[in-house]
Amino acid sequence: MTIESPHLGGHASAALAEADRLMTVCNSCRYCEGLCAVFPAMEMRRAFPDGDLNYLANLCHACGACYVDCQFAPPHEFDVNVPKNFAAVRAESYQAYAWPRALAPLFARNGLAISLIAAACVAIFIAVFVGVHDSAALWGRHTGAGAFYKLMPHNAMVVLFGVAFIYAIVATLLSVRNFWRDIGAPTAGRHQPRRVWQAIKDASTLRYLDGGGVGCYAEDERPTDNRRLYHHFTFYGFLLCFAATSVATVYHYLLGLAAPYAWYDLPVVLGTIGGLGLLVGPAGLLHAKLVHDPALEDKSRLGMDVAFLAMLFLTSLTGLMLLFLRASPAMGILLAVHLGVVFALFITMPYGKFMHGLYRFAALVRYAQERHLP
Ligand code: SF4
Ligand code: SF4
């Protein structure tokens, strides 16, 4: 998957060569072995090829504890800064494993790419809505069952978003498969379900984002649990929004009930709670990122991080605005904007920060395998 360079000690990039140097130092020191999963996994190795370094980097949750605790951190001449280097390695790994390869360059200037794609999608939806409908229909009030479908037929929505969603699923799975193969994970054995379950528990609680038990280090040396809290708002908000869409599909096809639904109907309740989580979580993570100690950050990837958080926030914001203003004349334009943002979110998922959750989960499965957990 990666092309090794003789000028970088056989590694594919300067970040990977530096990761090899750091892991060699840490493997001699081992002071941080109780902080997270990275160090026990490191101790199982004597050499660090690129696949293993990508695995270790995706196990890291960037809590900063090993940097704060390290006696070899700058200004020491060993210049050990694991979280910063691993952030760069992780970001490179998203590009290295992307499927198809032709779209991997989208990771290079990711913030700009996602912004342009999102703007184009919203503009196209608005242009089509304006072009297809006369102003009376576009700015009119549409209420009752099937109101949305007077502006975009249900079948057209299903086909368009179904194709985008299936593409996103295929591209993300094939990217994760590339990662899985390169980190040397064994094929599934009889303990695999238990190992996957262990990884689900570790990922759903963000077990290794706790800085070894004290919390995550942000702008100073006082650790807090804020990053874990906002990750939870984001992750569970996303899951609830997905559940809302799934329940709405059942309502439509099995119960014959067309959207929009009343505020007390399950899709709306799930979507509203999930949407609030997707406002609070990304906003909190964005704030945490801006105040995060710059010594721990790979600032060159800030655009990718901000673009993904902004996409989640805008998806939720436009969805909630559509919910609260759906009986007003603004419904038509709000529907176009919301659909444009959601469509852009779907098609850019395999080429943005969304992938960090999947690679991290795969790394946790690998960790449970090689450590024979539970
Ligand atoms: S980060 Fe520093 S203290 Fe921790 S294991 Fe590595 S060298 Fe040792
Ligand atoms: S930053 Fe945190 S999660 Fe990453 S290696 Fe250091 S202690 Fe482990």
At residue 283's C-alpha, the angle toward residues 208 and 312, to 5°, is 90
The C-alpha atoms of residue 2 and residue 50 are separated, in whole angstroms, by 8
Give the pLDDT band of residue 218 (cuts 50, 70, 90).
low
Q: What is the pLDDT of residues 173-207, one digit of tens each?
A: 999 999 999 998 766 666 788 999 999 999 999 99
The percent of residues in the chain predicted with pLDDT above 90, rounded, is 78
Indicate if the pLDDT at residue 116 is higher than 70. yes
Indicate if the pLDDT at residue 319 is higher than 90. yes
Q: What is the mean pLDDT of the chain?
A: 92
Residue 3 has what pLDDT?
A: 55
At residue 287's C-alpha, the angle toward residues 233 and 55, to 5°, is 70
Indicate if the pLDDT at residue 14 is higher than 90. yes
The C-alpha atoms of residue 57 and residue 368 are separated, in whole angstroms, by 16
Residue 212 CB: number of other CB atoms within 10 A? Answer: 16
What is the whole-number distance in angstroms between the Cα of residue 298 and the centre of ligand 2?
A: 14
Indicate if the pLDDT at residue 209 is higher than 90. no
C-beta contacts of 121-124 below 8 A and 24+ residues apart: 121/340, 121/341, 121/343, 121/344, 121/347, 122/336, 122/337, 122/340, 122/341, 122/344, 123/340, 124/340
Question: Hey, what amino acid is at 20?
Answer: D
Q: Is the CB of residue 60 below 6 angstroms from any atom belonging to ligand 2?
A: yes
Closest CA to 274 of 252, 248, 296: 248
Residue 122 has what pLDDT?
A: 97
What angle do helix axes 50-59 and 82-96 make, rounded to 10 degrees?
A: 110
Give the pLDDT band of residue 219 (cuts 50, 70, 90).
low
Quick check: bond before 193 cis, omega within 30? no
List of residues 6+ apart from 75 with CB closer than 8 A: none
Residue 210 has what pLDDT?
A: 82
- Matching residue, tokens 């069952």: 145
Residues in contact with ligand 1 (CB, 6 Å cut-off): 25-26, 29-32, 66, 69-72, 80, 82
Q: What is the pLDDT of residues 222-252, one digit of tens each?
A: 788 999 999 999 999 999 999 999 999 999 9
List of residues 6+ apart from 131 with CB closer than 8 A: none
Residue 187 has what pLDDT?
A: 66
List of residues 6+ apart from 49 with CB closer than 8 A: none
What is the whole-number distance in angstroms between the Cα of residue 62 and the centre of ligand 2?
A: 5
Q: Which ligand is nearest to the CA of 86?
A: 2
pTM recorded for the entire structure? 0.91
Closest CA to 354 of 60, 10, 86, 94: 94
The C-alpha atoms of residue 234 and residue 228 are separated, in whole angstroms, by 10
Residue 18 has what pLDDT?
A: 97
Partner residues linked to 216 by β-bridges: 224
Indicate if the pLDDT at residue 374 is higher than 80. no
First to last CA, the chain: 31
Q: Which ligand is nearest to the CA of 31?
A: 1
Give the pLDDT band of residue 270 (cuts 50, 70, 90).
very high
Residue 138 has what pLDDT?
A: 86
- To test the pocket of ligand 1, the residue of 29, 30, 35, 42 to mutate (highest count of ligand atoms within 8 Å of its CB) is 29
Q: What is the pLDDT of residues 33-83, one digit of tens each?
A: 999 999 999 999 999 999 999 999 999 999 999 999 999 999 999 999 999
Q: What is the pLDDT of residues 135-178, one digit of tens each?
A: 888 888 988 888 899 899 999 999 999 999 999 999 999 999 99
Specify the higher pLDDT residue, 308 or 6.
308
Where is 87: in which H helix or E strand? Answer: helix 82-96
Specify the higher pLDDT residue, 317 or 191.
317
Which residue, by CA, sits nearest to atom 4 of ligand 1? 32
Rounded mean pLDDT, 298-315: 93
- To test the pocket of ligand 1, the residue of 20, 21, 26 to mutate (highest count of ligand atoms within 8 Å of its CB) is 26
Partner residues linked to 224 by β-bridges: 216
**CB-CB contact of 345 with 365 (8 Å):** no
What is the whole-number distance in angstroms between the Cα of residue 196 and the centre of ligand 1?
A: 29
- To test the pocket of ligand 2, the residue of 36, 56, 58, 89 to mutate (highest count of ligand atoms within 8 Å of its CB) is 36
Rounded mean pLDDT, 300-323: 95
- Matching residue, tokens 């655009």: 303
- Matching residue, tokens 């909630």: 320
The C-alpha atoms of residue 282 and residue 312 are separated, in whole angstroms, by 7
C-beta contacts of 116-120 below 8 A and 24+ residues apart: 117/344, 117/347, 117/348, 118/311, 118/314, 118/340, 118/341, 118/344, 118/345, 118/348, 120/344
What is the whole-number distance in angstroms between the Cα of residue 69 and the centre of ligand 1?
A: 7
